[in-house]
Amino acid sequence: MIDIVACAEGCILPVRAQPGARRCGIVGEHNGAVKIAVSAPAEKGKANDAIQEILCAQLGLKRSHVQLLAGPTSRDKRFLLRDMTPAAVLHTLRTVLEGE
The CATH number assigned to the domain holding 20 equals 3.30.1200.10
Q: Render pLDDT for 9-58 as a digit per residue (tens, 0 to 9).
A: 999 999 999 999 998 999 999 999 999 999 999 899 999 999 999 999 99
Classify strands 5-7 and 10-18 as parallel, antiparallel or unpaired.
Answer: antiparallel
Structural domain contains residue 46: yes
- Burial classification of residue 5, based on how many CB atoms lie within 10 Å of its CB (0-12 exposed, 13-18 middle, 19 or more buried): exposed
Structural domain contains residue 92: no
Q: What's residue 73's pLDDT?
A: 93
Q: What's residue 12's pLDDT?
A: 96
Taking the C-alpha atoms of residue 17 and residue 30, their distance in angstroms, rounded to an integer, is 10
pLDDT band at residue 1 under the 50/70/90 scheme: confident
Structural domain contains residue 93: no
Q: What's residue 100's pLDDT?
A: 58
Structural domain contains residue 100: no
Residue-range definition of the domain harbouring residue 44: 5-85
Tally of domains within the chain? 1
86 sits in which H/E element: helix 86-98
Structural domain contains residue 28: yes
Structural domain contains residue 58: yes
Range 24-47 burial, b when 16+ CB lie within 10 A, else e: bebbebbeebbbbbbebebeeeeb
Q: Render pLDDT for 60-99 as a digit per residue (tens, 0 to 9).
A: 999 999 999 999 999 999 999 999 999 999 999 999 888 7
Structural domain contains residue 65: yes
Structural domain contains residue 95: no
